[in-house]
Structure 1
């Protein structure tokens, strides 16, 4: 199974132990999943923003706004390995501190340009035991979501400094 490259999130669903299906980030979640050739991965998932936060100081955001933004975001990265029927993600970095150092095992089905990842064991989400299913579509060169507001440059000039990096 060749999962290397970039993937765009198409759907994120949780199913409770009673069979209720929920979309924790709504009908139009955003996300990128990257698998590198040298064995690392990064997952970034977010709910569409519900309010514009007009702040340029990412560490000076008021607590309530920072908490609301984090509640609609999932992020983690680390090494990965393919295993029979799935993928293991070993988390070196995670937005949720309880995931640091854990192994997240995902069932994986690759069909053409589509990748379906599923949690292998239930977890607790908003007070209920759930399993998750995430549907990804292989990203194409310079593909972008329909909510982007500007064209990405094909290449940054060498003298451009990106603020905050």
Structure 2
């Protein structure tokens, strides 16, 4: 039997991020309907995730420490990032994160759990306990796709990204 950890190890690209209020209200898209995200699980038990909202406000200055209050609010509210150790419970198909660093400081030194499901190269993660998001308790649902990326196409992808940013 293959362990879930072996299936998790690697890099994943975010396909969708939805929050469902526990009160039964309409689903929310806190990072918009086209968020960008990367989730990495290493074989030695560390993980990192970063999710950004499409269309975050650019800073007028190229100095990241010289942002306006409005720019900082857009940046913070449009980004999720944390990293730390992870452990997999194969019997219950749950991954537990021991968060060591987080953009949201309240998550530092906290545990978070996600229910795991796979369908081919697609990973489904669901929060196991509701979290507070914009004043509402929600369960989060994320869909990730395994990235199959070789070093050979690194320069080509960077060039395409530069061209799209200029247009």
> By the TM > 0.5 criterion, same fold?
yes
What is aligned with 2:22? 17
Higher helix share: 2
**TM-score (norm: length of structure 2):** 0.83
What is aligned with 1:3? 8
- Matching residue within 128, 132, 135 for 1:124: 132
What is aligned with 1:49? 55
- Matching residue within 86, 94, 100 for 1:92: 100
Matches within 5 A, 1:40-79: 40-79=46-85
Aligned length: 149
Deviations 1:107-127 (A, max 9, x none): 110221000111101111111
**TM-score (norm: length of structure 1):** 0.84
Aligned-partner SS, 2:162: coil
What CA RMSD, in Å, does the superposition of the two structures yield over aligned residues? Answer: 1.9
**Deviation, structure 1 residue 61:** 1.5
Aligned-partner SS, 2:124: strand
